[in-house]
Structure 1
Amino acid sequence: MADIMIRKRKRMREKDIKALREDLNTLLSIETFADKDVIDMAESSDFDVIFVNNSILALVYQGKPFLTIRGLLKYRPESYSVTVDMGAVQYVTNGADVMGPGIVGADDRISEGDLVWIKDYKNNAPLAVGVALRDAAGLKGRQKGKAIHTIHYVGDKLWKSGE
């Protein structure tokens, strides 16, 4: 098991779960947690994590909730996604920030500062979660420089904690 530091894990109150579920459902246009799910929140070194039935399926980064890669695989949202070409995949899965020229598509709802998920062009598989440094038009413009700051990726400590 990976060495992710989890502390202060506690069961969430029903009204907090309801608010979190509504935020995620509205943001991603999907249904997430069920009423029967056991949901805990804990602190980690970079952000708060949300356990759903003992699996980390969501995170809260700078006060904004979003799904982890495992959550993305389970719930399969389409919104707030950014598609990268296959040449960028090896860098993104090693934790690199996403550069503008590697982006081939982006959801039109994305604004600068939004949490987004990165998927590959060929398989539409989630690769990472990050913070958009540009709006949707800027992401699609394929301009040089960093476009998305990566906060969670396949193969990091958070990903390995679910293995």
Structure 2
Amino acid sequence: MRLRRYFIRRREGRRLLESFAREVGLSFETLFGGKVAVEVVEEDGVRVYLVGGEARLVEAGGRVVPALTYAEVVDALPRVVVDMGAVPHITNGADVMAPGVVRVDGSFEPESLVVVVDERHGKAIAVGSALLSSEDLAKAKRGKVVKNLHYVGDRAWKLMKRLP
């Protein structure tokens, strides 16, 4: 239950941020600029990365994913739009199921990062890993289609909200 904050070495931080930028398909300079200091905040197995003093990345499911508050990246990711009936389940940590998907915006392959948004407000409610390609997901009628990695109200979200 103890909060730990520390900076990681510049080289490690740059390596982490470059691999993240490659994964989301954006350039390092566009996302982070020049020299950056990466601070890690850990509590009860939850790890949040602060870049420039702001929560930018979250370690979830063995992957580093963008924090839902990191609008520049979240807005650039492919979107999976879900109906309002799926929202409470997704914000409780459930994976996205095919019947709840209304439409898919953008193209992606399996294992790609996608953002899950609600259909009414268009707000990002989760970041997940696609289990199917965008074409297959649009056709799917049943089963899991997106593995939920980080969602509104999870432990990482609550930790980010408590940070000064």
TM-score interval (norm. to shorter):
0.7 to 0.9
Corresponding residue of 2:40:
41
- State the one-letter code of the partner of 2:157: W
Cα distance in 2 for partners of 1:20, 1:125 equals 27
Cα distance in 2 for partners of 1:92, 1:127 equals 8
Tell me by how many angstroms 1:78 deviates. 2.5
Q: Residue deviations 1:100-134, cap 9 Å, x none? A: 01112335542222232211223321101222222
Q: How does 1:73-112 map to 2 (within 5 A)?
A: 73=71, 75-112=73-110
Identity %, equivalent residues:
30
Cα distance in 1 for partners of 2:50, 2:75 equals 19
Asked whether the 8 Å contact 2:46–2:156 carries over to 1, the reply is no
Corresponding residue of 1:22:
18
C-alpha change, 1:23 and 1:137, in structure 2 (3 Å) is same
CA RMSD, 1 decimal: 2.9
Instruction: Provide structure 1 residue ranges, at least 5 long, that are not aligned to the other structure.
Output: none
- State the one-letter code of the partner of 1:161: L
Cα distance in 2 for partners of 1:62, 1:158 equals 12
C-alpha change, 1:131 and 1:75, in structure 2 (3 Å) is closer
Matched, 1:11 2:7: yes
Corresponding residue of 1:51:
50
Instruction: Provide structure 2 residue ranges, at least 5 long, that are not aligned to the other structure.
Output: none
Asked whether the 8 Å contact 2:48–2:160 carries over to 1, the reply is no
Tell me by how many angstroms 1:43 deviates. 5.3
- State the one-letter code of the partner of 1:66: V
Tell me by how many angstroms 1:63 deviates. 5.7
C-alpha change, 1:70 and 1:80, in structure 2 (3 Å) is same
- State the one-letter code of the partner of 1:68: A
